[in-house]
Amino acid sequence: MNTIKGPAIFLAQFMGDMAPFDSLNGICRWAADLGFKGIQLPTNDLRFIDLQKAAESKDYADELRGIVNSFGLEITELSTHLQGQLVAVNPAVDSLFDAFTPEAYRNNPEARTEWAVQQLKYAAKASQNLGLNAHATFSGALLWPMVYPWPQRPAGLVETGFDELAKRWAPILNYFDECGVDLCYEIHPGEDLHDGISYEMFLERVNNHPRACLLYDPSHFVLQCLNYLEYIDIYHERIRMFHVKDAEFRPSGRQGVYGGYQSWVNRAGRFRSLGDGQVDFKSVFSKLTEYNFKGWAVMEWECALKHPEDGAREGAKFIKDHIIRVTERAFDDFAASGDSLQFNKKLLGLEL
């Protein structure tokens, strides 16, 4: 078995315009002071990483890693959640997703998709240059507006959508394979890969590509009423990344999974800071340890109530306290009677 690495923190929800959150040095110092050992780094902000430069210059990648290491931290993985989302966008929400796009590619879906694909390829090479073996992203969504439709979906629509999704991602997955990096999809509402079945539909169409892996985040499954522990049993061989994020689901006579168009505070399902929600993290960490998960436990903070800095401070300790240092021996080794084949055969009556 393997001891999970951590605690680490995903920086997306913390980067901002005020110190210490406005520079790589500042945010690394802040994270280290809280007790984190790693940072998961988004790639859409030049103040923290120039993704293209990290892909094209090993010297720059080494310099970037050196800055992070100087604070006693490691880069756990890079993230292209926003860029991955743009690999596949339904036309109904084109204008909304232009917000994730450089101005030069807005109002031009084809150019935006080409830009997003190139970003993923940069991320693969940058990860290789940084010595990383896994990468986080979203799948994008051609079908999500049809997830619970009226009138009903036309026959073959889902199959056509997944065929196209696989066609777009297959060359990207191949490039990640060339770079020796696992591409880990965060299974997430709003994405076409939003549960186990949708992931399996995609996996079949990319011929069970060895790099089409998973970022496990139980919070999204709480809000879908999906068994997040059984999910680990089913997909543990594909899980390469782990977001430690909490959530709670409090259905009532007025609302359930869909939330009644309410704000995050007023939804039946909402994300919470670590320890404030309903995820059974003792069982989650136990299962991942049992299945020899070799990655990082990375805190992602998304809470409708608590201040993010309090969530981060509490989260570092929460993860540290949940990481299981694996045993190097069985608890009953003290009573062992040896491992002699001759003795074992004698006990079984095979040698007289």
**Backbone torsion region of residue 275, taken as left when φ is above 0, otherwise alpha when ψ lies between -120 and 50, otherwise beta:** left
pLDDT (tens digit per residue) in 221-248: 999 999 999 999 999 999 999 999 999 9
Helix %, strand %, coil % for the chain, to 5?
A: 45, 15, 40
The pTM assigned to this predicted structure is 0.94
Position 335 scores a pLDDT of 66
Q: Which domains does the chain possess?
A: 5-347 (3.20.20.150)
Tokens coding 197: 């079945």
pLDDT (tens digit per residue) in 61-81: 999 999 999 999 999 999 999
Answer yes or no: are the C-beta atoms of 1 and 289 closer than 8 Å.
yes
Position 349 scores a pLDDT of 87
Rounded CA gap, 316 and 293, in Å?
A: 19
Rounded CA gap, 227 and 222, in Å?
A: 8
Q: Find all residues with CB under 8 Å of 174, minimum gap 6, and list them.
A: 209
pLDDT (tens digit per residue) in 245-274: 999 999 999 999 999 999 999 999 999 999
Q: Which three-class secondary structure state does DSSP give residue 31?
A: helix
Amino acid making up residue 279: V
> Does pLDDT of 331 surpass 90?
no
> Does pLDDT of 18 surpass 70?
yes
In DSSP terms, 41 is beta-bridged to 78
Average of per-residue pLDDT across 164-190:
98
Position 330 scores a pLDDT of 76
Instruction: Give the single-character DSSP code of 15.
Output: -
DSSP string, 72-118: T-EEEEEEEHHHHHTTSB-GGGHHHHGGGS-GGGTT-HHHHHHHHHH
Average of per-residue pLDDT across 213-220:
98
> Does pLDDT of 6 surpass 60?
yes
Averaged confidence pLDDT in the chain? 96
pLDDT classification of 346: cutoffs 50, 70, 90: confident
Position 341 scores a pLDDT of 85
Tokens coding 347: 């006990």
Amino acid making up residue 91: P
In this predicted model, which residue has the larger pLDDT, 38 or 347? 38
> Does pLDDT of 315 surpass 80?
yes
Position 352 scores a pLDDT of 57
Average of per-residue pLDDT across 110-136:
98
Position 345 scores a pLDDT of 85
Tokens coding 137: 């992203």
